[in-house]
Amino acid sequence: MRALLDSLYRLSGALAAIGMVATLVMVSAGIFSRPLGIYLSGTDDYAGYCMAACGFLALAYTFKHGEHIRVSLVLERVGPRLRKALEWFSLAAATTIAMTLAWYAVRLAWQSHEFEEVSQGIDATPLWIPQLTMAIGTVVLVIALLDDLILTTLGRTPRRLAGAGNEAVRME
């Protein structure tokens, strides 16, 4: 199960990286085509969709790498028992918030599909397509948070994904 979850987080990170490259391609295409008198319609919209995909798909990956901003000012000054309780509470709160966000993101994509909403740009993209990346990214984040919450509840230390080819490392 651990290998499956870690693969899911890595896949999400890889898709975010693809979104970042796609953003670069869309912006570059728009910039370099304009002086040639060529207007590539929709590049601005697609760059925005790719950027949003990049941000949401990277959430779980960066969380599991320990790269999210973590304010540890209080945690550093309390005892180990209180620290564990505060860490569990923060994971539970984050999971609850992420579940709410995921619920509404999935609902938004579903409703956009159901009502056949399209973008107002010249490309008229069905909105559920770019919204799907937001829904997937938030659902994978919920899975990552639940992963850590369950491990913490069981008294185990959550593991963080290590860099290229390295084994997973323990959270400090």
Q: Characterise 121 by phi-psi region: left (phi > 0), alpha (psi -120 to 50), beta (else).
A: beta
71 three-state secondary structure: coil
Rounded CA-CA distance 54/98 in Å is: 17
Task: Please check whether residue 57 is in contact with residue 13, taking contact to mean a CB–CB distance below 8 angstroms.
Answer: yes
pLDDT of residue 1: 86
Cα 64 to the center of its chain, rounded Å: 11
What confidence tier does 165 reach under pLDDT thresholds 50, 70, 90?
A: very low
Specify the pTM: 0.87
pLDDT of residue 172: 45
Rounded CA-CA distance 148/7 in Å is: 16
**pLDDT more than 90, % of the chain:** 63
User: Mind listing the pLDDT tens digit for each residue in 27-85?
Assistant: 999 899 988 888 888 888 999 999 999 999 999 999 998 887 777 788 888 898 998 89
Task: Please check whether residue 64 is in contact with residue 158, taking contact to mean a CB–CB distance below 8 angstroms.
Answer: no
